[in-house]
A and B are shown apart, each in its own frame.
Chain A
Amino acid sequence: MKRVVFLSGKGGTGKTTLAAVFASRVEGLAIVDADVDAANLHLIFHPEIEETGAYSGSKVAVRDDDRCTSCGRCSKVCRFGAIDAEFAVDPLLCEGCGTCVTACPNDALRLVEQESGTWYVGRAARRPMIGAELHPGEEVSGKLVSVVKEKADDLAKRERIERIAIDGSPGIGCPVIASTTGTQAAVLVTEPSRSGLHDLERILGVVRHFDVPAYLVINKADLSELLAEEIEAFARREDLPMLGRIPYDERVIDALRVGRSPADDPASPAGRAMNEAVARLLETIG
C-alpha cells in the first residue's frame, strides 16, 4: 500500500487543492483529511457519510468540592498552572496528566474522559473518504490523526485499495508528525515567498527526519519570479525533486466555490499544471 501525504509547513499554500487533484485523478484510492483542526477537503468532495463516531482521547481533572480541604497540594504539583488560587481546575490549561489526583490526600480529584473530536467514514465519487474534526482547543490532534489513518488503513485493506492520499495540516508539530509517519511519499506544497521558503526548509527537515521521500510543488509560482527561482535553487541544493510550477489562477477559487476539483476545468492553466504535477508524481512513485 502507498500512502502519500500533502504538507507545507506554511499554511494556505494549496495543500488541500493539490491533494484533491491527486485524489480525483487516481483510481482505487482512499482519501484522508488529516487536517483535523481546519478540515476543508470535504468542501470539495462532499462525501456521503456512512459512519461517524466520537473520539475521547483526552482527560481533564475534576474536583469534588465536598472533599476538597483546600490544602493546596494539587496546585504545588501541577506544572501547567491549571489550578488557580481557589484550587479550581482550568480545563483549558489542564493536560489531563493526573499528577494532582496522585497528590490529593482526600480523593477530591479525579480524571474524567472528555470527547475531543468526531470522525467520519464516508464515500465521495465511490472512493472511501475518512476525516475528523477536533473540538476547539483540544490537544490530541496527533492522536486523532492516527485514529483516522488507522481507519483508512483498515478500509483500504478490506477493499483492496492500493493508495491513500492524506491531506495534512500546516506547521511541523504534533498533527504533522502523526500524518507523516508511515507514509511512502510526501508532497511539499510551497508558494514563492520568504515565509514559504523558510517553512519549506523546516517541513523538509521533519519529512527527512522520518525518512519519507519528499517532492516539491511551487503553487502560485508567478506571484514572485524572484522567490520561485530561490526556491528552485534550494530544491536543487537539497536534491528535492520538482513536480511542477503552478501559476496563480483565479479559476481555482471559482472551482472551489462550486465544490469542484480545479483539475476538472480544462480552461484553467493552474488545473492543467496540477494535472501534470500529479502525472509526474505517479510516474515517480509508481
Chain B
Amino acid sequence: MRLAVASGKGGTGKTLVAVNLGCVLAADGPAMLVDCDVEAPNAHLFLRPELTERKEVSKRVPVIDESRCTDCGACTAACEFKALAFMAGHALVFEELCHGCGRCGLVCPSGAVTEKEHPLGIIERGSAGDLAFAHGRLHIGEAMASPIIRELKRSLPERGSIVLDAPPGTACPVISTLHGVDAVLLVTEPTPFGLHDLRAAVNVARMLGLPAGVVINRDGIGDDDVERYCEEEDLPILLRIPFDRRIAETGAEARLLIDALPEWRLPFAELAASAKELAT
C-alpha cells in the first residue's frame, strides 16, 4: 500500500498523523515513512531515525563553451524557462531558472553546450526501529522541490506499507508526491481556513483519481462546517484528534503520540486498517 498524507493548509498535523501511522504499520509488517516535504521536513524530529545513507540530488544545467559558440541564439530561443540569455556577446546561464531539460544542448548546431550538475538538495535514508525511513532536504535558496521528491520516490520498496508525508498546498510538489499512490489521507482542522484548503486538496485527489479519507485534527475548536462538507462530499472521516493541551505539548516536543499517550495506539491502528481498506 502506498498512502499519502496531505492537507492543502499547512500545519494541520500531517506529520503527526504520518509518523504515528507509520509506527503502527511497522508493528504489523514491513513499513516505510517517506518525508516528501523537502522544503520543511519534520518527520525525522519525531522518529529520530538512524541515517545510514546520504545522496546529493542535482539537476543538469548547461555550460556554454565559448570557443565553439557562434552566438546563433538557437539555445536562448529554445529555452522555455528564460534560463539562457546573451549579454555583451556572452552566453549567460541562470542556473536557478533552469529545469535541466537538455533542450539547449539538443538545438545547438555547434556542439557548444555541455552540462554540469547543479546541486539542489540531499536525500537521506535509514530506519527508526522497524520503520524504514527516507527524507529529502532542499538546499537553502533553491526553488525546485519536485526533482528531490521524484528522486525520493524512485527507489521505494515494492512490498509493505509506505506512508508519504506530503508538503502543504496543491502545487507541483504535492502532485509529485501523490502521483502513483493508492490513496490519500487529508488532514484538516475545523476552521474556515482548514475547510477552504481541504476543498482544494479534495480537488487534487479527485483530479488524480485517488480515494480520499479525512482526519480532523484539533477537533472541538471552530465549528462543524468541515463535517458537513465531508458528509455532502461523501468523504469518510477516519479519525478525530481533539484539541487537548497534552496532545499539543507532545507534538511541540516532537514526541510520538502513541508513545506519550498510549491510549492513542488503538485509534491509530484503526486508522491504519481503514487506510488499507481505502487503498484497495
Contacts and interface: CB of A to CB of B under 8 A. Distances in A.
Does chain A bind chain B?
yes
Interface of A: 8-13, 16, 36-38, 40, 43, 59, 77, 79-81, 92-93, 95-99, 102-103, 111, 134, 136-139, 141-142, 169-177, 191-196, 198-199, 202, 205-206, 209-210, 223-224, 226-227, 250, 253, 256-257, 259
Interface stretch (B50-58, B191-199, B272-280): B191-199
Interface string B186-219: 0000011100110010011001100000000000
Given A170-B10, A226-B253, A138 B172 contact: yes
A45 to B, nearest CB: 13
Given A137-B172, A170-B169, A172-B138, A102 B103 contact: yes
Interface in B3-60: 7-12, 15, 37, 39-40, 42, 45, 60
B193 A173 contact: no
A194 B141 CA distance: 22
A98 B140 CA distance: 29
Given A38-B200, A102-B107, A195-B45, A141 B171 contact: yes
Contacts of B142: 173
Contacts of B39: 9, 170-173, 176, 202
B222 A99 contact: no
Contacts of B11: 10-13, 170, 191
Interface in B144-194: 144-146, 150, 167-175, 179, 191-193
Contacts of A192: 252
B251 interface: yes
Given A59-B80, A194-B45, A259-B192, A206 B141 contact: yes
- Sorted from nearest, which 4 A-B pairs have the closest CB atoms? A11-B10, A12-B11, A97-B101, A171-B39
10 contacts: A38-B10, A40-B196, A40-B197, A43-B192, A98-B80, A171-B37, A192-B252, A193-B251, A195-B251, A209-B141
Interface string B232-268: 0000000000000100110111100000000000000
Given A11-B168, A226-B253, A257 B223 contact: yes
Most buried by A among B10, B168, B254: B10
Most buried by B among A16, A92, A99, A202: A99
Contacts of A96: 80
B72 interface: no
Most buried by B among A37, A191, A226: A37
Contacts, number: 197
B168 A137 contact: no
Given A97-B81, A253-B222, A38 B251 contact: no
Given A10-B40, A102-B107, A103-B106, A173 B78 contact: no
Interface string B85-128: 00000000000000111110011000000000000000000000
A230 to B, nearest CB: 10
A162 to B, nearest CB: 29
A227 B253 CA distance: 7
B169 A257 contact: no
A65 B136 CA distance: 39
A192 B11 CA distance: 13
B45 A198 contact: yes
Contacts of B168: 11-12, 38, 170-171
A257 B191 CA distance: 7
Contact of A206 (B101, B140, B171): B140
Contact of A205 (B140, B223, B253): B140
Contact of B9 (A11, A191, A206): A11
Contact of A38 (B170, B175, B223): B170
B141 to A, nearest CB: 4
A232 B40 CA distance: 20
Contacts of B143: 142, 173-174, 177
A99 B103 contact: yes
A141 B39 CA distance: 15
Nearest to A39: B196
A271 to B, nearest CB: 16
